[in-house]
Amino acid sequence: MSDLNFHLAIPVRDLRETREFYIGILGASEGRSDETWVDFNFFGHQLVAHLSDPKSEDSRTRQNLVDGDLVPIPHFGIILDELGWKKIIDKLTQSEWPFEIAPHLKFKGLPGEQWTMFLRDPSGNALEFKFFENPNQIFASE
């Protein structure tokens, strides 16, 4: 685990399907939990899934055009190394989990060149997984 870790809380509609997705498909491990929330170790970071009202606003319609892709907002994700990124693709493919935006190269030949993909968890939260062949490009502006 890194010295710097994020904590993110997300709304979910069902804790059972959330556990199946984050643990069973993405490989997270479960930490503390209660009747209305569960903590996950999400690549060394604390992700907390909270039950929320399913009638609340659906973010699936909010998007922003980024390098030719309609990127869902809000979204969260993780930057992996190439091996970890390919492992996630394999797990998603084996489980027949749909991609919102299929794995591809973004910003080719430009600052910040990266491999990226988007998907949604069972509650509709958008996730992005990416890797940089050159990690120095993570915060590149020029």
Span 81-94, pLDDT tens digits:
999 999 999 999 99
State mean pLDDT over 33-49: 92
Query: How confident is the model at residue 76, as a pLDDT?
Result: 93
Query: How confident is the model at residue 58, as a pLDDT?
Result: 59
Query: How confident is the model at residue 40, as a pLDDT?
Result: 94
59-142 matches 1-52 in CATH topology = yes
Cα–Cα distance, 112 to 118 (Å, whole number): 17
Q: Where are the beta strands (DSSP E) in the chain?
A: 7-12, 29-33, 37-42, 45-51, 63-66, 69-72, 75-79, 99-106, 114-120, 126-131
Query: How confident is the model at residue 2, as a pLDDT?
Result: 56
Cα–Cα distance, 111 to 141 (Å, whole number): 6
Q: Does domain 59-142 have CATH number 3.10.180.10?
A: yes
Tokens 């992996």 correspond to what residue?
Answer: 80
Nearest in space to 89 (alpha carbons), one of 36, 50, 130: 130
In this predicted structure, the answer to whether residue 55 has a pLDDT above a threshold of 70 is no
Q: Look up the pTM and report it.
A: 0.84
Q: What is the SS3 assignment for 132?
A: coil
Burial bucket for residue 69 (CB in 10 Å: 0-12, 13-18, 19+): middle
Written out in words, the top-level CATH class of the domain with range 1-52 is: alpha beta
Domain spans of the chain, in order of start: 1-52, 59-142
